[in-house]
Amino acid sequence: MDKEALDRCRKAIAEAKTIVFLGGAGVSTGSGIPDFRSPQGLYNVRSEYGVEYETILSHSFFETYPDVFYDFYWKHMVAEKAKPNRAHLALANFEQKHHNLTIVTQNIDGLHQDAGSVHVLEAHGSVRRYHCQKCGKPYALDQIPHHGVPHCSCGGQIKPDVVLYEEPLDAATLEEAVQRVRFANVLIIGGTSMRVYPIAALPQYFNLGTQIIINAEPTPYDRYCDYVFHEDIGATLEALLED
């Protein structure tokens, strides 16, 4: 790890009034949750269903084949035994001490909150929340069976509160993320390929300050950042955010 670059980043973070961390699937790989687009990611593993995993995670597939969707979902999307890793804990510890950090996450696993982070914007929703498509009744993960297609007491089919392909992001969450990025002094991007829109477009709202990216693989956005770390995200965040 480049010590000079690390020291400069730490100085910028120490002087910042507001910081945004924009994170993706790579943040949770240390917790045993596979990412999607890396060479070892879920989308590069042969599907057992005869259709691509990206297709299964679409709104139209969910509506047409809910049984197949949920078979995949319970096997691959809900990691009940996963625990926060070094990356989650470094961010949570920093927020608890300094209170000036907002996390914008593409992850749906809830591990940032488990680690203790409070200011978390879940751009793609969460596997912890559900609702009935018929009556709108909300459900938590522990209120529904973790197999098959869950149904509400009214008989309606239950849908996870996650953003599927073909669905828009929650407008209020996206707008708050834009405003947080717009007024941040430091933007740290971590564990994301920067290929999933509209979240990958958020950095264009970053006006003045220091941009840092941490990702195991190079990304299309590396050239726009002030500092680039192709390092382990947990170790790098610990080094950047320690007092």
pLDDT in tens, the chain (243 residues): 789 999 999 999 999 999 999 999 999 999 999 876 655 556 655 678 888 888 999 999 999 999 999 999 999 899 989 999 999 999 999 999 998 999 999 999 999 999 999 999 999 999 999 999 999 999 999 999 999 999 999 999 999 999 999 999 999 999 999 999 999 999 999 999 998 899 999 999 999 899 999 999 999 999 999 999 999 999 999 999 987
Same domain, 180 and 237: yes
Same domain, 51 and 112: no
Same domain, 72 and 87: no
Is 158 a member of any domain? no
Strand 19-23 and strand 101-105: the pairing is: parallel
Cα dihedral angle (96, 97, 98, 102), rounded to 10 degrees? Answer: -20
Is 136 a member of any domain? no
* The pair of three-digit structure tokens given for residue 197, joined into one six-digit string: 């829109």
Is 181 a member of any domain? yes
Which domain covers residue 53, as residue numbers?
42-76
Is 141 a member of any domain? no
Same domain, 21 and 46: no
Would you call 124 a catalytic residue per the annotation? yes
Is the pTM higher than 0.95? The answer reads no
CATH code for the domain of 197? 3.40.50.1220
Is 111 a member of any domain? yes
Same domain, 113 and 173: yes
Same domain, 46 and 120: no
Same domain, 105 and 55: no
Is 137 a member of any domain? no
Would you state the pLDDT for residue 48?
82
Do 3 and 233 contact (CB within 8 A), yes or no?
no
Is 147 a member of any domain? no
Same domain, 91 and 27: yes
List all residues 6 or more positions away from 204 whose beta carbon is below 8 Å from its beta carbon.
none
Residue type, 61: F
* The pair of three-digit structure tokens given for residue 21, joined into one six-digit string: 């961390």
Q: What CA–CA distance (Å, rounded) separates 81 from 60?
A: 29
Do 70 and 64 contact (CB within 8 A), yes or no?
no
Same domain, 66 and 87: no
Does residue 232 sit in helix, strand or coil? coil
Same domain, 27 and 89: yes
Is 10 a member of any domain? yes
Number of domains into which the chain is organized: 2
| Catalytic residue selected from 88, 98, 124, 131 | 124
Same domain, 48 and 111: no
Q: What CA–CA distance (Å, rounded) separates 13 from 31?
A: 26
Same domain, 209 and 228: yes
Q: What CA–CA distance (Å, rounded) separates 116 from 167?
A: 29
Answer with the one of 51, 76, 101 that is the final residue of a domain.
Answer: 76
Would you state the pLDDT for residue 99?
86
